[in-house]
Amino acid sequence: MKTIILGFDSFDPAVFEDMAGQNQITNLSKFVDAKGYSRLEVCSPPQTEVSWTSIATGADPGGHGIFDFVHRDPSTYAPYVSILPMKKSALGEQFVPPYIAKTLFEEAAGMGYPATALWWPAMFPARPELPVNTLPGLGTPDIRGQLGVGTLFTTEDEKKNKTSVMHLESAGKGRYSALLNGPMTQSKSGPQPVTLPVALDVIDPNTARVTIGDNQLELRVGAWSEIVEVKFKAGMFFNVHAITRLILTSLNGVVRLYSLPLQIHPLHALSHYSSSKSFAKNLWDKVGHYLTLGWPQDTTGLEDGCISDEQFLNLCDTIFSRRKQIFFYLLDNFKEGVLGSIFDDLDRVQHMFYHDRLDVAQAWYKKLDAFVGEVGQRVNGWSGKYNYLIMSDHGFTTYQYKIQLNRWLAENGYLALNDGITSGDLSNIDWRQTRAYAVGLNGLYLNIAGREGQGVVGAEEIELLLAEIQGKLMKWKGPDGKSVIWRGRLKHEIYNGAYTRLGPDLVVGYASGYRASSETGLGKIPQALIETNNNHWGADHCVDKDIVPGVIFANRDLQNFGGISFRDIPFLAIGKHLDQSHIKPPSQISGHGQKDLEERLKGLGYL
């Protein structure tokens, strides 16, 4: 077996087909000409971590247990990030793998082949017990165990929405100093960040010398530094190592220096960052240093105005470039097995530019196409059979309106807030008067007696109540007069597997242009029902799966498949189905006609 998988996060079929029709995409178009292209049915909901996990396992969320970016603890209703679960142990709180369902990589390794998964979501922490080489993708935290925000050092009195702001104190003419907050430690006065001194000396109007820990860097305005390794002394014999990159964004009157979120140092990780350790070290030493955060393309820094569009795009470019180098290093040494790699810059670029600068997104389609050309030059020389798959986890669409689903539930009598409260979060809900609530970007749960901590909905009411909510949601119109919801899907209709019972009772599939607000994701209940989205983040994919299909390209004929879905990927990659639920024998599908068919065949003498 020899299989390479390129995962292009958010590669949209409509954009591709349009550009291919105008001859702007040449390498991927060759797959189309050879019948090796198809739109890909993606899982519900089409969220990155859910979809790539479904692709890797061939199972829907009922089979692997990741249903949404945010899950809830039914006993307390507390929301938590599904891809970063923690477990308390004697050693304190530790990250645990978000799922244990078998992936195609694990299956290939079990068959005796080398298997490598690069930047695949939900693969942090690594599972060293498995013989699969991994560098994890989405879900890899920063050194504080969070999904990561950067730090802005500024001489101004500024406030940012999410970014941490540290004031640059004047330390003489053209000299400034500040502190960089690192990991949190316990002190007598409670949790405190360990800090590193930061010094900035202006050299000329475009250049400054920045000293951070043991590092001294000369930075030019607007140019990203290389990866910087820093060390925080978190105890007498205990250091926390981190990596980051810095950018000087202003020296003209106002001095601004921005640091990416502090990321796990792959050679000094406190959790299992990669599998194996030597795999990460080899790439770090042989290819070059690489960022480790699950979402290293700093959309938050861009949204908060800490970096410009151009600086954000430059960052994406450098991340893509290093990842390509790593991939090619492995590809050049690839003899057999499975080598899978996700490239997710396009997703981040589309979130920020798809809606108002489509040309920027299209430039990334061309970059990925050129990359496919480079890969093609290498693999075309291979002798013998091999599988070459390129796919995306979903497409993309606009995000014009933010939906507050809990407000809709309240206005329709399904959710009640405590007396005197008009807005808030899950802690403000009167659970005895609440029959349904929303947590996650596509999840709606009933408040079921015996399942939820203060459940009130009896087993006999579930079916009717869900049908009622589903029906009302489908009639909901937005400010543009169009339907807000494309489709509501009941979990027992769309999921198979042991984890189905843990999923949302109704998966809410928004129509194009609509998406749950981030407040809804966390279970909040703001005042407004629908808000216009004026954010830089103006496009998304957390809608109904039918609106954002993915793509698949393969060096084989895909036309005979009669519709390819995520469930088929393990078979296409390693020749094995990991989940057989979608391939019942024909006799079990045909239904009532089976008897007539048999009669006819007997009559003709063929049975």
Partner 1 sequence: MSFLNKFISRGQKENKQPIYIVSGLPRSGTSMMMKMLSSGGLPVVMDSIRQADEDNPNGYFEIELSKKLKDGEVKWVYEASGKAVKVISYLLEYLPKDMNYYVVFMEREIKEILASQHKMLERRNEKSLISDEEMTAQYNDHLRSVKYWLPRQPNIRVLYVSYNSMMNQPEELCVSIVNFLELPLDVKAMREVPNPSLYRNRS
Residues that bind partner 1 (CB under 8 A): 1, 109-113, 131, 560-563, 568, 571, 575-577, 583-587, 589-591, 593, 596-601, 603-607
Closest separation between CB of residue 300 and partner 1, Å?
41
Please provide the DSSP assignment of 189-210 as one string. Answer: TEEEEEEEEEEEEEEETTEEEE
- Residue 135, burial from CB neighbour count under 10 angstroms (0-12, 13-18, 19+): buried
Closest separation between CB of residue 562 and partner 1, Å?
5
Long-range contacts of 583-590 (CB under 8 A, 24+ apart): none
Closest CB to partner 1 among 452 and 579?
Answer: 579
- Could you give the strand order of the β-sheet that contains 133-136, starting from the edge strand earlier in sequence? 133-136, 115-120, 337-343, 2-8, 387-391, 550-554, 37-41, 564-565
CA distances from 540 to 68, 518, 535 (A): 15, 12, 12
Are residues 21 and 30 in contact, defined by beta-carbon separation less than 8 angstroms? no
Q: Tell me how far apart the alpha carbons of residues 435 and 456 are, in angstroms, rounded to a whole number.
A: 7
Are residues 337 and 10 in contact, defined by beta-carbon separation less than 8 angstroms? no
Closest separation between CB of residue 220 and partner 1, Å?
49
Closest CB to partner 1 among 139 and 337?
Answer: 337
Q: What is the DSSP letter of 161?
A: S
Neighbours of 110 (CB within 10 A): 14
Closest separation between CB of residue 111 and partner 1, Å?
4
Closest CB to partner 1 among 537 and 561?
Answer: 561
Closest CB to partner 1 among 534 and 560?
Answer: 560
Please name the helix (run of DSSP H) or strand (run of DSSP E) that holds residue 400, with its range, or none: strand 397-403
Q: What is the DSSP letter of 252?
A: S
Closest CB to partner 1 among 174 and 575?
Answer: 575
Closest CB to partner 1 among 97 and 131?
Answer: 131
Q: Tell me how far apart the alpha carbons of residues 155 and 157 are, in angstroms, rounded to a whole number.
A: 7
Distance of CA 573 to the CA centre of its chain: 22
Closest CB to partner 1 among 112 and 373?
Answer: 112
Are residues 393 and 52 in contact, defined by beta-carbon separation less than 8 angstroms? yes
Closest CB to partner 1 among 133 and 442?
Answer: 133
Closest separation between CB of residue 606 and partner 1, Å?
5
Closest separation between CB of residue 376 and partner 1, Å?
23
- Cα radius of gyration (the chain): 26
Closest separation between CB of residue 133 and partner 1, Å?
13
Q: Tell me how far apart the alpha carbons of residues 534 and 351 are, in angstroms, rounded to a whole number.
A: 13
Q: Tell me how far apart the alpha carbons of residues 564 and 550 are, in angstroms, rounded to a whole number.
A: 10
| Pairing, β 115-120 against β 133-136 | parallel
Q: Is 19 helix (H, G, I), strand (E, B) or coil?
A: helix
- Could you give the strand order of the β-sheet that contains 246-250, starting from the edge strand earlier in sequence? 164-167, 151-154, 256-259, 246-250
Closest separation between CB of residue 584 and partner 1, Å?
8
User: Helices 309-332 & 277-286, crossing angle to 10 degrees?
Assistant: 110
Q: Is 283 helix (H, G, I), strand (E, B) or coil?
A: helix
Closest separation between CB of residue 41 and partner 1, Å?
13
Closest CB to partner 1 among 223 and 607?
Answer: 607
Neighbours of 397 (CB within 10 A): 25
| Helix ranges restricted to H, 489-593 | 491-494, 518-521, 569-574, 586-589
Closest CB to partner 1 among 92 and 562?
Answer: 562
Closest CB to partner 1 among 421 and 607?
Answer: 607
Closest separation between CB of residue 275 and partner 1, Å?
14
Closest separation between CB of residue 250 and partner 1, Å?
54
Residue owning tokens 């659970």: 431
Closest separation between CB of residue 556 and partner 1, Å?
10
Closest separation between CB of residue 28 and partner 1, Å?
22
Residue owning tokens 């430059």: 314
Region of residue 549 (phi > 0: left; psi between -120 and 50: alpha; otherwise: beta):
beta
Closest CB to partner 1 among 459 and 601?
Answer: 601
Q: Comparing C-alpha atoms, which of 311, 289, 297 is closest to residue 243?
A: 289
Closest CB to partner 1 among 76 and 587?
Answer: 587
Closest CB to partner 1 among 288 and 575?
Answer: 575
Please name the helix (run of DSSP H) or strand (run of DSSP E) that holds residue 185, with its range, or none: strand 175-187
Closest CB to partner 1 among 19 and 111?
Answer: 111
Q: Comparing C-alpha atoms, which of 255, 233, 260, 257 is closest to residue 244?
A: 260
Closest CB to partner 1 among 309 and 596?
Answer: 596
Closest separation between CB of residue 100 and partner 1, Å?
18
Closest separation between CB of residue 561 and partner 1, Å?
5
Phi and psi torsions of 270, nearest 5°? -85, -30
Closest separation between CB of residue 578 and partner 1, Å?
12
User: Helices 358-379 & 345-353, crossing angle to 10 degrees?
Assistant: 160
